[in-house]
Amino acid sequence: MTYIVKQKIHGKDYYYLRKAVRKGDKVTSKYVAYLGKTKKEAEKKAKEILKVRKTGNFSHHSNQENLKIQKSRKFLSHSNQEDLKEKNKKQERKGINMEMNLQHKNISVDEIAAFCKRKGFVYPSGEIYGGLSGMWDFGHLGVELKNNLKREWWKFHVYNRDDIVGIDGAIITNPKVWEASGHVNAFVDVAVLNKKTKEKFKIDKHEIAKYQNDNNYEIKGEFNPMFTTQVGPVAEDSVKAYLRPETAQLIFADFKLVFENSRMKLPAGIAQVGKAFRNEIAPRDFLFRCREFEQMEIEYFVNPKGKCIYEIPNIDILVYSSEMQKQGEEMERMKFSDAFKKRIIKTEWHAYWLCQEFLWFVSLGANPLKFRIRQHMQDEKSHYALDTWDLEYEFPFGWKELLGMANRSDFDLKQHQEHSGKDMSILDEKTGEKFIPHVVCEPSLGVERAFLVFMFDAYNYDKSRDNIVLRLNPKLSPIKAAVFPIVKRDDMEKIADDIVDELKREFNVVHDRSGSLGRRYSRSDEVGIPITITVDGDTIKDKTVTLRDRDTTEQIRVKISEIKDILDKVIGGRNLLTFGKRVNTRVK
């Protein structure tokens, strides 16, 4: 049973959705979602959440199935299974769980930037010299979270599928690659000056009309955002080259080699994760718009005469079509499959891949209600694109693009074939005909933007603990466990060291000796450590320890020999509290 509760914090009303869950002989209240600051808003969001949970499950997903129709991913939700088991049990509102005190906290991009710097996630690059706009350094926690994000993306898109392989292309390549792709001559933005604020920003060419007749703005001219460099140590013998502005083009340039070497069969994709560089006129919003960034990208190739071999999952999302935008209409929640059937999304492949990218986010704990897909207007689309959609997220600074996905047809391979003189066509083994594959979609996601999504969604405040709790999915958590000897004693320190040494072979764990036990718990909660392991007096006697759950503060007692297996299962999605007997402790 779910219900809405209102809490007054600093004189203001906040509404939350909670769920009654039976634990043993008690019924406890579990946090589900933050609903807003008004009753009307709360009731509307609650209906949306319950509708999403009924039609789509986001907690965990199975691997890709092997056969044509069975290949669509089926997503299973443990919470829904629990609800089913509890359906016929009497629900009572008693026994408030500690998790009830967790409240999702909406903060600004400046506040998340300050938090990231304070805790060791992200710093301005070269800050001791004043930094450099649009450049960021990832600290000891940030690099772990970033690597975990990339690892989970690679698992989802490459390891868990049989139709995608990867490459790692060079950052600086033959400049003719960028001439063929059109980046040298056509990759152009327009610089605009706001005369009042003296701020510069960029626009696309199709937006010039909005500003050229407005006296508050001055069109400063066109510029190419590619960084240039010289290859060769002697200036007169060097070659002008570019830092790559995207990761896509070497996938196209290397396509024929990868296709033949990997014995690829269409439909199939090539994935790449790596750095890209754009000389932005106005980097802003922390990690959202940088000059140096990383992309996680797939170019998915198909025979244009073939059909999509996967089913579109029966999942809801907010849809904002070009027609809705043109007519000034509100976006509409609908299933991906229905958006295709209504021809709002033009191809089945496009609908399938948009859904997959959405599900990757929510499978790792992102809030599904903060996502939408938005179709590009006619004047936004690239000249080669049949259809283009963005997966967008509702940041504190508005709805912004996370992932762009264009149906590029055969434009890129044809360009490289024409400029290189190399044949990019392949043979259809069934018909004996040669053809140039089409890129039916190109899921292209910025790592730093995904980083922001998970940080914003994980940021919670616990009023009983009076500190921030970063509720990251354990798969993403920079540190998987922290080991605390309850007091500074040689025998306890030795056991704690042994536990850390054993776990470090597979997991990133830390041994924290400094401060009170409560302070150590708070520090670990603030940086998202899902499990804390406490060595105490009983450990000396019976070789058992307590394991504490970050979100609920509840603890269980287990044998030291069981820790490694339990930690592995919790990272995989299991509930920590199911692995041992719960214990009451003085310090939560």
Tens digit of pLDDT for each residue in 460-483?
A: 999 888 899 999 999 999 999 999
Same domain? For 61 and 139 the reply is no
In a domain, residue 461? The reply is: no
In a domain, residue 557? The reply is: yes
Same domain? For 340 and 484 the reply is no
In a domain, residue 27? The reply is: yes
Phi and psi at 144, nearest 5°, equal: -70, -45
Token pair 């092997």: residue:
66
In a domain, residue 166? The reply is: yes
Using 50 as the pLDDT threshold, list the residues of the chain that sit under it: 10, 55-97
Residue 525 amino acid letter: D
Q: Quote the CA–CA distance of 412 and 296 in Å, as a whole number.
A: 19
In a domain, residue 214? The reply is: no
Counted domains in the chain: 3
Q: Quote the CA–CA distance of 152 and 296 in Å, as a whole number.
A: 11
Q: Quote the CA–CA distance of 403 and 157 in Å, as a whole number.
A: 15
pLDDT of residue 430: 87
Domain boundary among 44, 69, 101: 101
Contacts of 522 (CB under 8 A, 6+ apart): 465, 467
Around Cβ 427, how many Cβ atoms within 10 Å? 10
Domain boundary among 67, 82, 101: 101
Same domain? For 398 and 343 the reply is yes
Q: Could you tell me the pTM of the whole model?
A: 0.82
Same domain? For 365 and 434 the reply is yes
Expressed in percent and rounded to 5, the helix, strand and coil fractions of the chain are 35, 30, 35
In a domain, residue 462? The reply is: no
Q: Quote the CA–CA distance of 135 and 131 in Å, as a whole number.
A: 8
Q: What is the CATH number of the domain that holds 436?
A: 3.30.930.10
State the first-to-last Cα distance of the chain, in angstroms, to the nearest integer.
27
Same domain? For 442 and 494 the reply is no
Q: Quote the CA–CA distance of 175 and 229 in Å, as a whole number.
A: 11
Residue 491 amino acid letter: D
For residue 313, say if its preceding peptide bond is cis, omega within 30 degrees of 0: no
pLDDT of residue 72: 38
Same domain? For 242 and 379 the reply is yes
Q: Quote the CA–CA distance of 434 and 420 in Å, as a whole number.
A: 19
In a domain, residue 198? The reply is: no
Asked if 135 contacts 126 with a C-beta cutoff of 8 angstroms, the reply is yes
Same domain? For 413 and 562 the reply is no
Around Cβ 378, how many Cβ atoms within 10 Å? 9
pLDDT of residue 95: 29
For residue 531, what are the domain limits? 479-583
Same domain? For 324 and 258 the reply is yes
Phi and psi at 538, nearest 5°, equal: -65, -25
CA distances from 370 to 71, 367, 451, 475 (A): 27, 6, 15, 21
Q: Quote the CA–CA distance of 443 and 154 in Å, as a whole number.
A: 13
Q: Quote the CA–CA distance of 182 and 556 in Å, as a whole number.
A: 60
pLDDT of residue 212: 84
Same domain? For 236 and 371 the reply is yes
Same domain? For 542 and 408 the reply is no
CA distances from 301 to 82, 298, 336, 440 (A): 40, 9, 21, 6
Q: Quote the CA–CA distance of 114 and 124 in Å, as a whole number.
A: 11
Q: What is the CATH number of the domain that holds 550?
A: 3.40.50.800
Q: What is the dihedral of CA 139, 141, 145, 147, to 10 degrees?
A: 60
Closest to 567 measured CA to CA, from 469, 488, 500 = 500
pLDDT of residue 213: 85
Domain boundary among 101, 131, 160: 101
Around Cβ 488, how many Cβ atoms within 10 Å? 9
